[in-house]
Amino acid sequence: MGINLNLNPALNALKFNDQVNDHLEQKAQKLLDQMKDISNRYKDVSKILRELNVHIQKDYKGEIDKVDFSENSDIKDILDGLYEMGILPEKKYVFEGNDIEFLKASLDGYASELKNQNQEPMLLLQPLLNLMEMMNKITKSIIESDEKIKETTQRNI
């Protein structure tokens, strides 16, 4: 019963490491895509809030009678998306009186919600990166050990 020198634990470890890294990279990419989507939605909401603030600053008393976004196609698209997501109760581009305050409050609330939503993928991303690093270290250790075993075995033959 001799030692089988055809075994290649280093190659097996490399293959396994590649599979694990591919899997973890896919998960990390999904988290990054999720963060990008949340960030884009936050930018859209911020754009409307900036426009509202411009209108508020134009009216020195801080009271606006009417805000009309019907001529701004970018804002209209964003408002349409917010309506479709259920953030806004109705599809409209002209806001008057209390509707302006309601819009601002809804957008402020949604912006806060988006900030909070972005925390989860950020918190999940670091452990994935740590796992990838750990797998690489384990694989490196297996390869180094395999090389030492082969050297020792070659000397003893």
* CA 35/CA 28 separation, integer angstroms: 11
What are the b/e assignments for 80-89, b being 16+ CB within 10 Å?
A: eebeeeebbe
| Domain ranges across the chain | 46-135
Q: 84: number of CA atoms within 13 Å, CB side?
A: 6
For residue 157, the 8-state DSSP code is -
- The pLDDT value given to residue 57: 63
20 three-class SS = helix
pLDDT tens digits in sequence order for the chain, 157 residues long: 455 556 788 888 999 999 999 999 999 999 999 999 999 999 999 999 998 887 766 665 656 678 889 898 999 999 999 999 999 999 999 988 788 889 999 999 999 999 999 999 999 999 999 999 999 999 999 999 988 988 888 877 6
CA 30, CA 36: separation in Å to the nearest integer? 10
48, 79 Cβ separation under 8 angstroms: yes
Asked if residues 101 and 134 have their Cβ atoms less than 8 Å apart, the reply is: no
**pTM of the predicted protein model:** 0.73
Which one, of 107, 95, 43, lies nearest residue 68 by Cα?
A: 95
